[in-house]
Amino acid sequence: DIQMTQSPSTLSASVGDRVTITCRASQSISSWLAWYQQKPGKAPKLLIYKASSLESGVPSRFSGSGSGTEFTLTISSLQPDDFATYYCQQYNSYPLFTFGPGTKVDIK
Protein backbone atom coordinates (compact mmCIF):
# COMPACT_ATOMS: atom_id res chain seq x y z
CA ASP A 1 0.00 0.00 0.00
CA ILE A 2 1.16 3.53 -0.74
CA GLN A 3 1.57 5.70 2.36
CA MET A 4 1.39 9.49 2.30
CA THR A 5 3.01 11.93 4.70
CA GLN A 6 2.69 15.71 4.94
CA SER A 7 4.81 18.36 6.56
CA PRO A 8 4.39 20.38 8.57
CA SER A 9 1.32 19.14 10.42
CA THR A 10 0.53 22.70 11.50
CA LEU A 11 1.70 25.95 9.97
CA SER A 12 1.20 29.39 11.48
CA ALA A 13 1.29 32.21 8.96
CA SER A 14 0.14 35.76 8.33
CA VAL A 15 -1.93 37.25 5.54
CA GLY A 16 0.36 37.94 2.60
CA ASP A 17 2.85 35.20 3.47
CA ARG A 18 4.09 32.68 0.95
CA VAL A 19 3.18 29.23 2.25
CA THR A 20 4.55 25.85 1.16
CA ILE A 21 3.25 22.44 2.19
CA THR A 22 5.09 19.23 1.35
CA CYS A 23 3.59 15.82 0.62
CA ARG A 24 5.65 12.65 0.24
CA ALA A 25 4.64 9.23 -1.08
CA SER A 26 6.17 5.95 0.10
CA GLN A 27 6.76 4.98 -3.55
CA SER A 28 6.61 6.72 -6.88
CA ILE A 29 3.13 7.90 -7.87
CA SER A 30 4.21 9.70 -11.04
CA SER A 31 2.06 12.88 -11.07
CA TRP A 32 -1.11 11.26 -9.76
CA LEU A 33 -1.56 13.60 -6.84
CA ALA A 34 -4.34 15.97 -5.83
CA TRP A 35 -4.60 18.69 -3.18
CA TYR A 36 -7.76 19.54 -1.25
CA GLN A 37 -8.75 22.37 1.08
CA GLN A 38 -11.12 21.70 3.95
CA LYS A 39 -12.69 24.21 6.30
CA PRO A 40 -14.32 23.21 9.61
CA GLY A 41 -17.68 21.52 9.11
CA LYS A 42 -17.34 21.56 5.32
CA ALA A 43 -16.51 19.00 2.65
CA PRO A 44 -13.06 18.96 1.06
CA LYS A 45 -12.65 21.09 -2.05
CA LEU A 46 -10.42 20.07 -4.93
CA LEU A 47 -7.66 22.62 -5.60
CA ILE A 48 -5.03 20.87 -7.70
CA TYR A 49 -5.00 17.61 -9.66
CA LYS A 50 -2.28 15.75 -11.53
CA ALA A 51 0.24 17.44 -9.24
CA SER A 52 0.14 20.84 -10.92
CA SER A 53 -3.19 21.35 -12.75
CA LEU A 54 -5.36 24.03 -11.20
CA GLU A 55 -9.02 23.08 -10.81
CA SER A 56 -11.44 25.45 -12.51
CA GLY A 57 -12.41 28.39 -10.32
CA VAL A 58 -9.48 28.01 -7.91
CA PRO A 59 -7.48 31.24 -7.44
CA SER A 60 -4.14 31.38 -9.22
CA ARG A 61 -2.29 32.01 -5.95
CA PHE A 62 -2.51 28.25 -5.45
CA SER A 63 0.02 26.13 -7.31
CA GLY A 64 1.32 22.60 -7.16
CA SER A 65 4.54 20.96 -8.23
CA GLY A 66 6.48 17.73 -8.00
CA SER A 67 6.50 14.21 -9.34
CA GLY A 68 7.56 10.78 -8.21
CA THR A 69 7.55 10.85 -4.42
CA GLU A 70 7.79 14.52 -3.43
CA PHE A 71 5.19 17.21 -4.04
CA THR A 72 4.48 20.74 -2.86
CA LEU A 73 1.44 22.98 -2.60
CA THR A 74 2.28 26.67 -2.60
CA ILE A 75 0.04 29.60 -1.73
CA SER A 76 1.83 32.64 -3.12
CA SER A 77 0.15 35.25 -0.92
CA LEU A 78 -1.99 33.88 1.90
CA GLN A 79 -5.48 35.36 2.09
CA PRO A 80 -7.94 35.32 5.03
CA ASP A 81 -10.07 32.73 3.21
CA ASP A 82 -7.11 30.34 2.97
CA PHE A 83 -6.92 29.45 6.66
CA ALA A 84 -7.94 25.81 6.52
CA THR A 85 -6.60 22.26 6.52
CA TYR A 86 -4.97 20.95 3.35
CA TYR A 87 -4.80 17.30 2.32
CA CYS A 88 -2.88 15.57 -0.42
CA GLN A 89 -4.32 12.47 -2.09
CA GLN A 90 -2.56 9.91 -4.26
CA TYR A 91 -4.46 8.17 -7.02
CA ASN A 92 -1.64 6.32 -8.72
CA SER A 93 -3.43 3.19 -7.55
CA TYR A 94 -6.78 4.51 -8.88
CA PRO A 95 -9.50 3.77 -8.02
CA LEU A 96 -7.89 3.14 -4.65
CA PHE A 97 -7.04 6.43 -2.96
CA THR A 98 -4.81 7.35 -0.04
CA PHE A 99 -4.88 10.69 1.72
CA GLY A 100 -2.12 12.42 3.60
CA PRO A 101 -2.71 13.25 7.30
CA GLY A 102 -3.34 16.94 6.59
CA THR A 103 -1.68 20.29 7.25
CA LYS A 104 -3.55 22.91 9.24
CA VAL A 105 -2.79 26.50 8.26
CA ASP A 106 -3.69 28.87 11.06
CA ILE A 107 -3.22 32.51 11.89
CA LYS A 108 0.09 33.55 13.42
Partner 1 sequence: EVQLVESGGGLVQPGGSLRLSCAASGFTFSSYEMNWVRQAPGKGLEWVSYISSSGSTIYYADSVKGRFTISRDNAKNSLYLQMNSLRAEDTAVYYCARAVAGIGTDYWGQGTLVTVSS
Q: Which residues bind partner 1 (CB under 8 A)?
A: 34, 36, 38, 42-46, 49-50, 55, 87, 89, 91, 94-102
- Give the DSSP per-residue string, 40-86: TTS--EEEEETTTEEPTT--TTEEEEEETTEEEEEESS--GGG-SEE
Q: Which is nearer to partner 1, 78 or 88 (CB)?
A: 88
- In whole angstroms, give the CA distance from residue 105 to residue 90: 21
Q: Least distance from C-beta 33 to partner 1, angstroms?
A: 8
Q: Which is nearer to partner 1, 16 or 94 (CB)?
A: 94
Q: Which is nearer to partner 1, 14 or 56 (CB)?
A: 56
Q: Least distance from C-beta 59 to partner 1, angstroms?
A: 17
